[in-house]
Amino acid sequence: MNTSNSRKDDAGGVFFRQRRNRNMGLFDKLRGRKEDSSTPAGEDKLGPIVGFVLLDKPQYDFDSFIEKLNEQWGIETGKEKAEESIVFEVDGMKVACGYMPAVIPNREVEENCKYNFLWREAEQVVSTHKAHIIVSVLGAEDAIEGHKLFTKVASSLLQTQSAIAIYTAPLVMEAGQYVDLALSLKEDTLPVVLWVFIGMYQNEQGVGAYTVGLRSFGKDEIEIVNSNQSAGDVFELVTVIVSFIIENDVTLRDGETIGFSAEQKLSLTRSPGVAAEGDSIKIGF
């Protein structure tokens, strides 16, 4: 793939009152700053990477999680473990996992299932969840390293009893599929489909696609609007471009082009998002 003039970039609401407040308070403490912090925003590390492991029974097994994390990824958690949470540090990043014996409210996960066309049974399965585990990675200096650590932690949790799926808004993914994709890290391949959600839609004007998650890597979200190509081709193109952006730290810029060969030149236009939030890069395809 090539881009013209491409270069490295220089650069749900309140949950369950007391129990959730306690766990989220833990995450705030781990960030090392309070709401009235005077630290300039530009000096902050990357924001926390957060997800929710859904459980079909109100029970959890952190001992099994610790074993899987060490066995598969060589990560040790140490001895600090509370009754319903576990906190540890890896390469300067802090990991916090907190058990919540309640469903995620307002059918938030179920509503997001409609956007996950790759898992048709998603709503039926996740509607059975009875509890969840909040997973958070904080203090990552590098977005890729932070997401790699999150993936290893989440994958290990998803192999414990009662785990059925993971929710990283708006992505909803079945436990087994997430675990399988996470294994690509062992082959030095980045599982970007776990990090960046690709939404698809179709209307009278054609096929559309948009991303949610590229902004976490310091990039604009990308979109394809009113394409006359097949949905499969649109999805494949966006997937390849997302991988290209993250793996090579490429920034797509307004007025440039991108393509798979010297002959192919797809236009890039930066403008307010159609399906994506904020400004996005529109790819002419």
Please give the span between the terminal C-alpha atoms of the chain, in angstroms, as a whole number.
Answer: 15
Among 179, 194, 209, residue at a domain's last position: 194
Q: Which of 199, 62, 68, 67 is nearest to 135 (CA)?
A: 62
The reply to whether 4 falls in a domain is no
Same domain, 270 and 138: no
Report the range of poorest mean pLDDT among 14-18, 137-141, 164-168. 14-18
The reply to whether 37 falls in a domain is yes
Same domain, 171 and 276: no
The reply to whether 81 falls in a domain is yes
Structure confidence by residue, pLDDT tens digits, 20-58:
444 444 444 443 433 333 333 333 458 999 999 999 999
Structure confidence by residue, pLDDT tens digits, 200-254:
999 999 999 999 999 999 999 999 999 999 999 999 999 999 999 999 999 999 9
Work out the average pLDDT over 191-197. 97
The pair of structure tokens assigned to 149 is: 């650590």
The range of the structural domain enclosing residue 221 comes to 196-283
Among 178, 194, 210, residue at a domain's last position: 194
Same domain, 179 and 225: no
Among 173, 194, 215, residue at a domain's last position: 194
The reply to whether 7 falls in a domain is no
Q: What are phi and psi of 5, to 5 degrees?
A: 60, 25
Work out the average pLDDT over 100-121. 94
Q: Going by C-beta distance under 8 Å and a sequence separation of 6 or more, which residues neighbour residue 186? A: none
**How many domains are there within the chain?**
2
Same domain, 152 and 27: yes
Q: What are phi and psi of 61, to 5 degrees?
A: -140, 85
